[in-house]
Structure 1
C-alpha cells in the first residue's frame, strides 16, 4: 500500500511534453505552497518537513499539516493566490492531478492518485485496486480484503523496525499475518536477518516449516546429558499454550501447535520444587 507520495519519474515520453519541468525531487508541479505554520514558501510539504525537522532548536521543529495550506505561488508567473487547480493570473494548470482537500498537486498521473475520504489523504495505485479497512484505519490492496487479521488502527502506529509513522509514510507497507503493519523494506530486512517473529507481538510471521523440521531433526540427533534431562515449562508465542517439555539447549516445541517459537517460563532446575 502506498499513499500519495511516489518518486518522480526518471524520464518522460513525448506525450508528457510540458510536464515534469518544475517542482522538486518529490513531485513535479507548477506551484509552491506557503506553509501557514511558519509562513515560509516550499515546493511541497516534504521539502518543508525536511527543512523544519532538521532545525537545531528542537522547539522550532514541526511538520506541515497538508490540509492547512491556504496559499500557493505559481511557478510560471510567480503570483501568490488561494489554493486552486489553475493559476488565477496566467491560467496554467498547476498540476495534472489536484486534490483540493489535501492541497496536493502532481503532474505524473501514471501513479493513479486518488483521495480516500476515510483515510483523509490521497493515495496512489488506483482506487479500484484498494479498499478501506475501517478497523485497521487505512487502505489496503484488494487481495487483503477478507484475507488479513484486523488490528484496530494498526496503520496509525510506528513501524516497529525504523519507528517512522506508518499512516502517512512515503514507503510501501505490508500487513504481517498477525495483523501488525510494517514497512515492506523493513520486513524484507527482517527476512534477510532470519528474524521471523513480529517485533510487536512475537508471533511467527514467516513460513518456518522447513526450518523447524530441520531443528527437530537436530534435537532428535543431539540428546542432552543426564544432568540436563528435566522438564521445563514453556509458553508458545503463536498459540499462547503453556506446556511442559523436556529441556533442550537448541529449543522447545509447543505440544499444542508444534511451533518452536516458544519461551521458557520456568528455570527447570533439577532442584526446582
Structure 2
C-alpha cells in the first residue's frame, strides 16, 4: 500500500514532488515576485536576507508581505500549466525555455545552433563550417569562414550569433548586420570593414571606371607608374597613376591601394 501511495503522489501533477522544492524557510513549489524591487525569491525571508546584506545601506529594505501579488510556478517548464491549463505561449521550446504568442515570426529551434531562431525552419539551413543558420539562398553560394557568426558586427559591434537583427554574408565570407551593410553601401563604402575585400560583385562599377579613366587623360607630369596591392586577389603589380583609381593587372579590380610613394615612383621613372 505504501508503494501505491508513493506512485500516486509522483504521477499526480497537483502533488508533484512536494518535499523537494522551496528553501530553508518553506517547502513550496512556487516563488514570489517582490513588489518593492520586482525581483524573484523563494520566500519573503529569502528576500529580506538578501536585501539586508546589500553593501549600500540605502538599498536595504524588507518586503511587505501583504503587497505580494504574483507568484511563479517553479517545478518544471512546460507550454501548458498542469494545474490551471493556461497556455503560456503559442510557440514553446522546451530546450530554450522560450515562449512567444506571435507565431507569425515562424520560430524554430536549430539543434546545431542550440537556440531558437525566427523566419521558418524551411527557409534556413545550418552551415556546419560557419557554425550558424543562413538563408537557403546562400546554400552552396557563400564563402565559408569557421564560426563566422560567433563574432561581433564590424559596424555596430553587437554579437552576431544570437542577435535578433537580420544578418547577411558578404562576398568575402564575413558576416554583418543587414542594416549595417545597407548603411555601408549608402555611404559608398564597398570594402569589407574586416578584410577590405569587395563586399559584392563590383564588375559593373569597374567597367564604369574603365570608361571614366579612358575619357580623362592625366597631364604629362602625372603619367607615371606606381606599385599597388590588390585587396581582392592580394597580388601586387604596377599601374599608371590616375585620380579615379588604379586597376589590378591580375583580377581587373579597382579595389587597390598604393604601396609606394610618389617620390619612389618619380625616382624609378628617372
Q: TM-score if structure 1 supplies the norm length?
A: 0.69
What does residue range 108-127 of structure 1 map to in structure 2 within 5 Å?
A: 108-127=102-121
Deviations 1:117-153 (A, max 9, x none): 1101001222222111111110112121111110111
Deviations 1:134-183 (A, max 9, x none): 11110112121111110111000111111111001010111111111111
Whether 1:271 aligns to 2:267 is yes
Residue 17 of structure 1: aligned partner: none
Larger RCO, structure (CA 8 Å, separation 6 or more): 1
Between the two proteins, the alignment pairs up a number of residues equal to: 205
Whether 1:81 aligns to 2:81 is no
Secondary structure of the residue aligned to 2:253 is: coil
Deviations 1:4-54 (A, max 9, x none): xxxxxxxxxxxxxxxxxxxxxxxxxxxx999xxx9935xxxxxxxxxxxxx
- Are the equivalent residues in 1 in contact too, given 2:227–2:259 (CA < 8 A)? yes
- Are the equivalent residues in 2 in contact too, given 1:252–1:262 (CA < 8 A)? yes
Q: Note the aligned Cα RMSD (angstroms).
A: 2.5
Whether 1:230 aligns to 2:229 is no
Residue 158 of structure 1: aligned partner: 152
Bigger shift: residues 200-209 or 112-121: 200-209
Residue 98 of structure 1: aligned partner: 92
- Are the equivalent residues in 2 in contact too, given 1:94–1:105 (CA < 8 A)? yes
- Are the equivalent residues in 2 in contact too, given 1:233–1:268 (CA < 8 A)? no
- Are the equivalent residues in 1 in contact too, given 2:167–2:178 (CA < 8 A)? yes
Deviations 1:182-225 (A, max 9, x none): 11111111121111111111111133333322222222222222
Alpha-carbon shift at residue 77 of structure 1 (Å): 7.4
Identify, as 1 or 2, the structure richer in helix.
2
Whether 1:168 aligns to 2:162 is yes
In 1, the alpha carbon distance for the partners of 2:145 and 2:38 equals 39
In 2, the alpha carbon distance for the partners of 1:252 and 1:189 equals 25
Question: Structure 2 regions of 5+ residues with no counterpart?
Answer: 1-30, 41-68
Residue 39 of structure 2: aligned partner: 40
Residue 22 of structure 2: aligned partner: none
Residue 249 of structure 1: aligned partner: 243
In 2, the alpha carbon distance for the partners of 1:157 and 1:138 equals 11
Q: TM-score if structure 2 supplies the norm length?
A: 0.69
Deviations 1:40-80 (A, max 9, x none): 35xxxxxxxxxxxxxxxxxxxxxxxxxxxxxxxxxx97443
- Are the equivalent residues in 2 in contact too, given 1:81–1:88 (CA < 8 A)? no
Secondary structure of the residue aligned to 1:271 is: helix
